[in-house]
Amino acid sequence: MESKKEDVRRKHIRLHMEGALTARDKVGVQDFVLLDAYTSESAFVDNLRKRFSKNLIYTYIGTLLVSVNPYQELGIYTVSQMELYQGVNFFELPPHVYAIADNAYRMMCAELNNHFILISGESGAGKTEASKKILEYFAVTCPMTQSLQIARDRLLFSNPVLEAFGNARTLRNDNSSRFGKYMDIQFDFQGIPVGGHIISYLIEKSRVVYQNEGERNFHIFYQLLAGGEEERLSYLGLERDPQLYKYLSQGHCAKESSISDKNDWKTVSNAFSVIDFTEADLENLFGIIASVLHLGNIGFEEDDQGCATIPDTHEIKWIAKLLGVHPSVLLEALTHRKIEAKTEEVICPLTLELSVYARDAMAKAVYGRTFTWLVNKINSSLVNKDFTGKTVIGLLDIYGFEVFDKNGFEQFCINYCNEKLQQLLIERTLKAEQAEYEMEGIEWEPIKYFNNKIICDLVEERHKGIISILDEECIRPGPATDLSFLEKLEEKVGKHAHFETRKLAGPKGRKRIGWMEFRLLHYAGEVTYCTKGFLEKNNDLLYRHLKEVLCKSKNIILRECFLLAELENRRRPPTVGTQFKNSLSSLLEILISKEPSYIRCIKPNDRKEPSKFDDFLIRHQIKYLGLMEHLRVRRAGFAYRRKYEHFLQRYKSLCPDTWPHWHGPPAEGVERLIKYIGYKPEEYKLGKTKIFIRFPRTLFATEDAFEF
């Protein structure tokens, strides 16, 4: 078995060397640092294209993995592939997501430290698939004991549940994650996975009540209708046809994957049993899901005074039953608002428009908090208290930079998040480079790079940043609007070098900023945001009256989600922007203390098709993923570095002194070797344990001589 494995490995090494070095014109280089024209975006795209055309979807930039979504099964995720990558040095095999996983795992085991793997890219680029492959890799290759199989299975099965509740079909991706996810996989001192912990970020609640044409609500609604048992559906008062529900049919594609919905329901039901959900949990959970559907079907009418009424109380009765609330109290809360006067509470009727708003706010709040409850519940099933001194590998699957024709509050938050992560990446890469040079005793040559802290500050600085200005507008007494927010921005950050508003007409040929818009110059380029909806989304208001109803619900899950203490606390809860800012800052704290690996995913075309390589789209992503900047930082010093023994092992046949065996210290052997083949002093540096080669051409020449 071992020798067979060794044979395969050798074959791969040979193929890799051919691919990377001698046959590079055909299949490109497997590490971008070996590109001669490393500052040229065209050279970068050419290399990616060459490799993609040969189904080589992975390429490195040093230790960062670039992955292009193949949109087809390539047969590269088999158990034998996993075994191949196990315990092998990073550069001995072709680039693969398994190499990243294995490298992090081995370092963690050897040094007993914590790691994270940050996976980013735009929607549909393959982030979630990559994170699943990594999880599968650990599940298959890590040592395991019988008693810990449950922990492993729970880690694996948490995925289908979270995807059912947090993913949806969008125009960009049939299984798009509508939340950011960070998952710690915990290992004991023997490297056995023993538990985990998940943190979710900013679930897209607006999808619960509205979907664009061609898009769907979260999968779970359709799965429940398609696959749910007859008895369950009748208990929930639901029909099978999703078209009957307003919240499911606005995108006009409710029925498109009814077959897979039915199968997915089975997968999700099975996963629920693995992660320890009781029937009572499920009853409460689906009671909530069904209530959301009933809520969407409540029809409002207007009476003579212009106040909202609900003539047909059929849906109200179902919701009241499922959530354990009083129907008339719920009806009142959906059509009235409590206003606190000096000494008493006054109840005033809502207009039709405000009632619709209250209903949708209730659906969003209920779904959003239930999702958080679900994550907590999964976490309690992943906890393993028996193990102390655990080390972790964190997987971060988070939305990449987003630039659409119209960009709103969500894009603003997402792009701010990417701005922060980019800062971390550049700083860590620079630091790692510097640390390696210092360790190797090589003089550090400072690298010029763009520090995007200035943009992060513009967004997040206390009292002065955009989020603070937005919060101020949200709490200001008097009529604050999205427009007055924009005016405040102009007044307070209008002169900032990375900020523009509509007052500034763009130069000829550049898109002018329209009414209600501002533009940020992000590290990755310009993005124009429309302030429409910023205040409402940041406030995310749920009328107190409705909160009271939900706090008193008999549904156990809702009782945990809407605590009475929240009603007693008269202070405003933090806004969505501030909450996001705080959760990002905790995320960065989590990441800063760990060793990083990075995977950057690229979507090859907009049509979800295999073998289509859209140059324009790819260039765009290379820019937004900051890949050229990363390559520049990584290449500023030396293109290639290898431990002396590895270098010598490969090239010893080129020098009579080192062939067939060199018995002295490897460093001396390498020195002899490169002197013999004529390296010039400016082409290399010798460190304590590694040789550093400045230009790829030096290495290619050596490789060609070797082949000859």
- Binding region for ligand ATP (CB under 6 A): 69-71, 73, 121, 123-129, 172-173, 175-177, 399, 601
Binds 583: which of Mg ion, ligand ATP, none (CB < 5-8 Å by kind):
none
Active-site annotation holder among 123, 260, 309, 313: 123
Residues in contact with Mg ion, total (CB under 5 A)? 3
Instruction: Give the side-chain half-sphere CA count within 13 A for 223.
Output: 22
- Cβ-based neighbour number of residue 280 at 10 Å: 9
Q: 518 forms bridges with which residues in the sheet?
A: 501, 529
Q: How many helices (H) and strands (E) does the chain have?
A: 30, 19
Here the tokens at position 496 are 């900032």
125/156 with CB nearer ligand ATP: 125
Binds 69: which of Mg ion, ligand ATP, none (CB < 5-8 Å by kind):
ligand ATP
Active-site annotation holder among 400, 465, 669, 687: 400
**Annotated catalytic, 123?**
yes
257/452 with CB nearer ligand ATP: 257
Site string for Mg ion, 575-614 (x = CB under 5 A): ----------------------------------------
Please tell me the distance from the alpha carbon of residue 70 to that of residue 78, in angstroms, as a whole number: 16
- Nearest distance from C-beta of residue 226 to Mg ion, angstroms: 22
Beta strands in 259-390 (DSSP E): 301-302, 308-309, 336-340, 345-349
- Nearest distance from C-beta of residue 125 to ligand ATP, angstroms: 4
How deeply is 12 buried, as exposed, middle or buried, from its count of CB atoms within 10 A (0-12, 13-18, 19+)?
middle
Strands 391-399 and 115-121: parallel
Active-site annotation holder among 18, 92, 332, 402: 402
Please tell me the distance from the alpha carbon of residue 195 to that of residue 150, in angstroms, as a whole number: 9
**Residue showing tokens 């393993």:** 384
- Nearest distance from C-beta of residue 213 to ligand ATP, angstroms: 18
134/322 with CB nearer ligand ATP: 134
Cα angle: 597, vertex 600, 604; to 5 degrees: 160
Binds 601: which of ligand ATP, Mg ion, none (CB < 5-8 Å by kind):
ligand ATP
Q: Is the peptide bond before 660 cis (omega within 30 degrees of 0)?
A: yes
Binds 429: which of ligand ATP, Mg ion, none (CB < 5-8 Å by kind):
none
- Nearest distance from C-beta of residue 106 to ligand ATP, angstroms: 23
Binds 361: which of ligand ATP, Mg ion, none (CB < 5-8 Å by kind):
none
Strands 180-187 and 525-530: unpaired
Please tell me the distance from the alpha carbon of residue 61 to that of residue 631, in angstroms, as a whole number: 6
123/649 with CB nearer Mg ion: 123
- Nearest distance from C-beta of residue 100 to ligand ATP, angstroms: 13
DSSP code for 298: P
- Nearest distance from C-beta of residue 170 to ligand ATP, angstroms: 7
DSSP code for 665: -
Query: What is 532-553 written as a DSSP string?
Result: TTHHHHHH----HHHHHHHHT-
Q: 527 forms bridges with which residues in the sheet?
A: 520
Binds 31: which of Mg ion, ligand ATP, none (CB < 5-8 Å by kind):
none
214/665 with CB nearer ligand ATP: 214
Q: Where are the alpha helices (DSSP H) in 552-626?
A: 556-561, 564-568, 576-592, 615-624
- Nearest distance from C-beta of residue 518 to ligand ATP, angstroms: 25
**Annotated catalytic, 400?**
yes
CA distance readout (Å), 497 to 208, 455, 487: 38, 9, 17
173/555 with CB nearer ligand ATP: 173
Beta strands in 586-652 (DSSP E): 595-602, 640-643
CA distance readout (Å), 511 to 409, 455, 621: 20, 21, 20
Phi, psi of 117 (to 5 degrees): -120, 115
**Annotated catalytic, 120?**
no
159 binds Mg ion (CB under 5 A): no
- Nearest distance from C-beta of residue 401 to ligand ATP, angstroms: 11
**Annotated catalytic, 402?**
yes
Binds 125: which of ligand ATP, Mg ion, none (CB < 5-8 Å by kind):
ligand ATP
Binds 575: which of ligand ATP, Mg ion, none (CB < 5-8 Å by kind):
none
User: Which residues in the 166-225 window bind Mg ion by CB under 5 A?
Assistant: 177
Strands 499-501 and 336-340: unpaired
128/597 with CB nearer Mg ion: 128
**Annotated catalytic, 22?**
no
**Annotated catalytic, 577?**
no
Please tell me the distance from the alpha carbon of residue 355 to that of residue 350, in angstroms, as a whole number: 6
Active-site annotation holder among 173, 257, 335, 355: 173
- Nearest distance from C-beta of residue 177 to Mg ion, angstroms: 3
Length of the chain: 708
Active-site annotation holder among 67, 159, 176, 415: 176
Core vs surface per residue 291-325: b (16+ CB within 10 A) or e: bbbbbbebebeeeeeebbebeeeebbebbbbbbeb
Active-site annotation holder among 59, 69, 128, 200: 128
CA distance readout (Å), 365 to 134, 335, 371, 552: 33, 17, 10, 15
Active-site annotation holder among 28, 62, 121, 124: 124
Sign of CA dihedral 315, 317, 320, 325: positive
74/339 with CB nearer ligand ATP: 74
Binds 208: which of ligand ATP, Mg ion, none (CB < 5-8 Å by kind):
none
**Annotated catalytic, 340?**
no
Active-site annotation holder among 59, 158, 177, 539: 177
Phi, psi of 23 (to 5 degrees): -95, 30
Here the tokens at position 55 are 């189904």
306/610 with CB nearer ligand ATP: 610
20/162 with CB nearer Mg ion: 162
**Annotated catalytic, 103?**
no
- Nearest distance from C-beta of residue 164 to Mg ion, angstroms: 13
69/698 with CB nearer Mg ion: 69
Contacts of residue 691, defined as CB under 8 A and 6 or more positions apart, other chains included, come to 641, 642, 644, 647, 670, 674, 684, 685
128 binds Mg ion (CB under 5 A): yes
- Nearest distance from C-beta of residue 606 to Mg ion, angstroms: 16
Catalytic positions are 123-124, 128, 173, 176-177, 400, 402
Residues that bind Mg ion (CB under 5 A): 127-128, 177
